[in-house]
Amino acid sequence: MTKFTDFDSTKKDIRHRMNRALVVLQEEFSGLRTGRASTALLEPLQVNAYGSEMPMSQVGTISAPEPRLLSIQVWDKSLVQFVEKAIMESGLGLNPATEGQVIRIPIPALTEERRTELTKVAAKYAEEARVAVRNIRRHAMDDIKKAEKDGLISQDAQHNFADEIQELTDEFISKLDEALANKDIEIMQV
């Protein structure tokens, strides 16, 4: 972004990058267990398969046949033990039960203590997303200051661009806060 000729495309790029931080946060939130079975809970897990780390979704079919049960149909029988190990070592507090190539994972009810712990994890994820948005803002501000210093834009234009970037930042921080509030409500719901 060193050539600062078109602020609209630059602004569009900034919006896209900030929106990506929001999308990543929502993906991380989907992996937080709320007492209901969700395939998103297992999708980010990595399985040691064929000598490398592979996403769970690439070694089997993940489904939620019941509200409090997940199941994985492992495609290769030799990987069943690795899938089971990945689930147990995930830190999600799940205990898989294996029946041939099908692994069933009952989702236990959350205790009040675990719910509080999950809200803290959600808050940590949200803070990481806020930091990402602020870093995008900082880089954009540095670029427009450099463009003004290099004589590519006027000082007034630099101030206007800075105001627009700050408005974008405020908008996305607000969206992140709203996503966190919604996730907290979902986690604390009994």
Q: Based on the fold, state whether residues 148 and 177 are members of the same structural domain.
A: yes
Total number of domains constituting the chain: 2
Q: How confident is the model at residue 2 (pLDDT cuts 50, 70, 90)?
A: very low
| 62, 104 contact by CB (below 8 A) | no
Q: In what order do the strands lie in the sheet with 102-106?
A: 60-66, 69-74, 102-106, 97-99
Percent of the chain with pLDDT over 70: 95
pLDDT tens across 34-72, in order?
666 778 778 778 898 888 898 888 899 999 888 888 899
Tell me what the mean pLDDT of segment 24-32 comes to.
82
Which residue range is the domain that position 94 belongs to? 39-106
Q: Based on the fold, state whether residues 18 and 67 are members of the same structural domain.
A: no
What is the CATH classification number for the domain harbouring 176? 1.10.132.20
The Cβ-side half-sphere exposure at 84, using a 13 Å CA radius, reads 16
What is the CATH classification number for the domain harbouring 77? 3.30.1360.40
Q: Phi and psi for 108 in degrees, rounded to 5?
A: -70, 155
Q: Is the pLDDT of residue 31 over 80?
A: no
Residue, of 188 and 98, whose pLDDT is higher: 98
> Chain centroid to CA 131: how far?
14
Q: Based on the fold, state whether residues 116 and 175 are members of the same structural domain.
A: yes
106, 121, 141: which is the final residue of a domain? 106
Neighbours of 67 (CB within 10 A): 10
Is 2 a member of any domain?
A: no
90, 106, 122: which is the final residue of a domain? 106
Q: Based on the fold, state whether residues 25 and 58 are members of the same structural domain.
A: no
pLDDT tens across 96-115, in order?
999 999 999 988 777 888 78
The DSSP code for 153 is: S
How far, CA to CA in Å, does 68 sit from each of 36, 109, 136, 142, 184? 5, 8, 39, 49, 20
Question: Which pTM does this prediction carry?
Answer: 0.68
